[in-house]
Structure 1
Amino acid sequence: MRPRPETVQLPMMQPIRRPSIIDQAELELRNAIYFGDLRPGDTIPEVQVSKQMGISRSSLREACQRLVRDGLLTQIPGRGLFVTRMDAGTMSDFIDYRLGIEMQAASIVADRISALRAADDDAAADELLAPLRDALERTRRALAAEEVIEAGNADLDLHQLLAEVARNPFLISAMSTIVILTRMGSFSDPLGFGVRADITAAHQRLLDALSAGDASRARAVLRETLQELAARLRSGEHTQQVVRDPDLLESDGPEWTALNEQ
């Protein structure tokens, strides 16, 4: 037997580190956009924000450039950084992108459910869909309580969970940005923030299709739901009744809210 070497040649590896200041700043900005503390069209006052965060302006700039890359911020030469406003063209391109991501996730989940049903493992299939059902129930409760923002949160959580149940890290990462862009689209609605009154019915149809392992029907439900969203946010016109938050019946955002006060 060949003698074992006393030392093992390891490949070059980067040291493990805690989340950097820039990572944390990026997360704070993403959360501020998602929760509406920063709205479409709002500027990012560099001096004030870096001071509130307790970081250097160069660190803030690097965090902001990550959001520019993902389309959450728009940089206008000579004017600065702004939260992206979702205009008609942007919404059209975005929905095309979102459809591709979500329909692929739905196909993966439906195929996995179909395989479990074929193996008579209904318990595993139901367990796989349990997080989606929980998000649907949260949406129902929020609408019943007229908590429109919470209903919107639960709606987006369901779509994020669809990617997570698919267990594809690339789809999960893409959906993390998609949910924020969707929220920005809702805040860009000239009639104010709202969700479809029948959103739970659309979710139920999606879950029924997934539960049956019917990938084609699940994709069709997603296509109908997202195309209606695009039409509503592009034009302000829609065929579905929309429930709106009375405190958010305008598209102009508030003044900057301190991130450390969230």
Structure 2
Amino acid sequence: MEKNPLSPAFNQGLRQIVYEKLREAIVNGAIRPGSKLSEIELAEQMAVSRTPVREAIRQLAQTGLVTLTPRRGAFVTLPSMKDAADLYELRTELEILAVENMCAQPPKDELQKYRKIFEDMTDATPAETYVSEDRAFHLMIYQACTNHFLALMLNNISDLINLCRPFSVERSPITQFTWGHLAIIDAVLSGDRLKAREETRAHITTSKDSLLEFLKNHRAELSREYHYGE
């Protein structure tokens, strides 16, 4: 009897499912940067064999979300100061272009929705709530971009940005970030491209500075906590 021709597709599907679950856990912060990834534990948690877990970890290493350390294992990437600065420098320039692009045909209903969301937030708003809405807001900008290649580049670095997001709000009041969103939204809705550029740069610079301050003060602590790269 011939082998079932759908078997490879099933196996590939399982590998993709494991990859997506592990990726989402990392991006959402369920598995924090610096954490060591155990194939055995992850396989048990997801009720699969170690093979798709191993392949998923290798795939995540190619995206930069996971760092493979010889003789030590796999760790969720804990960005260095330079890597974080370089990433946010690139993010700034790409998102400025995306926001400018969005000014031509702004998704008004979406922008008004997020304006209400961020306007209602206070410094008492849980950081997790802000981070979730911040992630969704910037994803909306990427999706509204009509420049296919620009959107592709932003999506390629979005996971690394999301990895850093929780740390970028650790040192500053929530309203410092929500004001930035409101300023971007108002500029786009008014069609003021120059203002939209300025507010986007200012907003991401605030996030970058907060992230670098956190890493400066806590990276060594996180490395010790998770034995990162040891």
State the TM bucket, normalised to the shorter chain.
Answer: 0.7 to 0.9
Structure-1 residue corresponding to 2:92: 99
Q: 1:160 aligns with which of 111, 120, 139?
A: 139
The alpha-carbon deviation at position 196 of structure 1 amounts to 3.7
Distance 2:131 2:37 in 1: 25
Report the AA paired with residue 218 of structure 1.
A
Structure-2 residue corresponding to 1:13: none
Q: Once the two structures are superposed, what CA deviation does each residue of 1:122-147 show, in whole Å capped at 9, x if it has no partner?
A: xxx5xx22213323322343537622
Distance 2:65 2:17 in 1: 16
How many equivalent pairs are there? Answer: 212
Q: Once the two structures are superposed, what CA deviation does each residue of 1:170-202 show, in whole Å capped at 9, x if it has no partner?
A: 54454445444234224456x947664222221
Q: Which has the higher helix share?
A: 2
Q: TM-score, normalised by structure 2?
A: 0.78
**Percent identity (aligned):** 24
In the alignment, structure 1 segments of 5+ residues that lack a partner are 1-16, 114-124, 238-249, 256-262
Report the AA paired with residue 207 of structure 2.
L
Q: Once the two structures are superposed, what CA deviation does each residue of 1:180-237 show, in whole Å capped at 9, x if it has no partner?
A: 4234224456x94766422222111111221222323212211112122222211249
Q: Once the two structures are superposed, what CA deviation does each residue of 1:85-141 show, in whole Å capped at 9, x if it has no partner?
A: 12211111111221232122112111x23xxxxxxxxxxx5xx22213323322343
Q: TM-score, normalised by structure 1?
A: 0.69
Structure-2 residue corresponding to 1:76: 69
4+ runs deviating over 3 angstroms: 139-145, 167-180, 186-189, 191-196, 250-255
**1:211 and 2:189 are equivalent in the alignment:** yes
Q: RMSD between aligned alpha carbons?
A: 3.0
**1:169-180 alignment, distance < 5 Å:** 169-176=148-155, 178-180=157-159
**1:184-203 alignment, distance < 5 Å:** 184-188=163-167, 192=170, 196-203=174-181
Distance 2:25 2:225 in 1: 12
Partner of 1:75, secondary structure, is strand
Distance 1:39 1:198 in 2: 24
Q: 2:39 aligns with which of 16, 40, 46?
A: 46
